[in-house]
Structure 1
Amino acid sequence: MIDPRAVVHINAELADDVKIGPFSVIGPDVQIDSGTEIGPHVVIKGPTAIGKDNTIYQFTSIGEDPQDKKYADEITRLEIGDRNVIREFCTMHRGTQQDQGLTLIGSDNLFMAYTHVAHDCVIGDNVIMANGASIAGHVHLGDHAILGGFTLVHQFTQIGEYSFSAMGSAITQDIPPYVMVGGRPTRPHGINSVGMERNGVPPEVIRQIRKAYKILYKNNLRLEDAIEEMEDMAGESNELSNMVSFLRNVTRGILR
Structure 2
Amino acid sequence: LHPHAVLGGVPQVIGFESTPDSRLVVGENCVFREYATAHSGMPKFGGLTVIGNNCFVMIGAHIAHDNHIGNNVVMANNVSLAGHITVGDNVWFGGLAAVHQFSRIGRNAFVGGGAIVVEDVIPFGSVVGNHAKLSGLNMVGLKRRGFSKADIRDIRAAYKAIFLGDGLFKDRLEQASQDYAENPLAMEIITFIREGDRPICKPG
Q: 1:105 aligns with which of 48, 51, 63?
A: 51
Partner in structure 2 of residue 67 of structure 1: 12
Residue 109 (structure 1) shift: 1.1
Contact 1:156 1:251 in 2 (8 A): no
Match of residue 167, structure 1, among 90, 102, 113: 113
Q: Describe the SS at the equivalent of 1:197.
A: helix
Residues 219 and 97 of structure 1, relative CA distance in 2, 3 Å threshold: same
| Counterpart position of 1:183 | 129
Shift of 1:140: 0.5
Unmatched runs of 5 consecutive residues or more in structure 2: none
Match of 1:216 among 122, 141, 162: 162
Higher relative contact order, structure no. (Cα contacts within 8 Å, ≥ 6 residues apart): 2
Give the TM-score normalised by structure 1.
0.75
Letter in 1 for 2:130: R
More helix, by proportion:
2
> Offset at 1:73?
3.3
Aligned partners of 2:172 and 2:13: how far apart in 1? Answer: 37
1:127 to 64, 73, 83: 73
Q: Which amino acid letter does the alignment assign opposite residue 132 of structure 1?
A: N
How far the C-alpha of 1:224 sits from its partner, in A, is 2.8
Once residues 72 and 209 of structure 1 are traced to their aligned partners in structure 2, the CA distance between those partners, rounded to angstroms, is: 46
| Percent identity between the two aligned chains | 34
Q: Secondary structure at the match of 1:92?
A: strand
- State which of 128, 140, 163 in structure 1 corresponds to 2:86: 140
Structure 1 residues 97, 219: CA separation in 2 closer, same or farther (over 3 Å shift)?
same
Contact 2:118 2:131 in 1 (8 A): no
- Could you tell me whether the CA contact under 8 Å between 1:63 and 1:78 is conserved in 2? yes
CA RMSD of aligned residues (A): 1.5
Give unmatched runs, 5+ long, in structure 1.
1-55
In structure 2, C-alpha distance between the alignment counterparts of 1:84 and 1:162, rounded to whole Å: 18
Is 1:252 the counterpart of 2:203? The answer is no
Per-residue Cα deviation, 1:199-239 (whole angstroms, up to 9, x for no partner): 11111111111112112221254343232222223344332
1:74-89 counterparts in 2 under 5 A? 74=19, 75-89=21-35
Structure 1 CA distance for aligned equivalents of residues 118 and 75 of structure 2 = 17
**Bigger CA drift: 94-103 or 136-145?**
94-103
Q: Residue 7 of structure 1 aligns with which residue?
A: none
Q: Distance in 2 between matches of 1:86 and 1:221?
A: 46
3-state SS in 1 of match to 2:126: strand
Runs of 4 or more off by more than 6 Å in structure 1?
none
- Native 8 Å contact 1:205 1:237 kept in 2: no
1:73–1:220: structure 2 CA closer, same or farther, 3 Å change rule?
A: farther
* 1:255 counterpart SS class: coil
Q: Which amino acid aligns with 2:13?
A: D
Bigger Rg over Cα: 1
Give 1:123's aligned amino acid. Answer: I
Deviates more, 1:219-228 or 1:149-158: 219-228
For residues 64 and 142 of structure 1, the distance between their equivalents in structure 2, rounded to whole angstroms, comes to 23
How far apart, in 2, do the equivalents of 1:127 and 1:222 lie?
A: 34
Q: Give the distance between the partners of 2:64 and 2:198, measured in 1 at CA.
A: 18
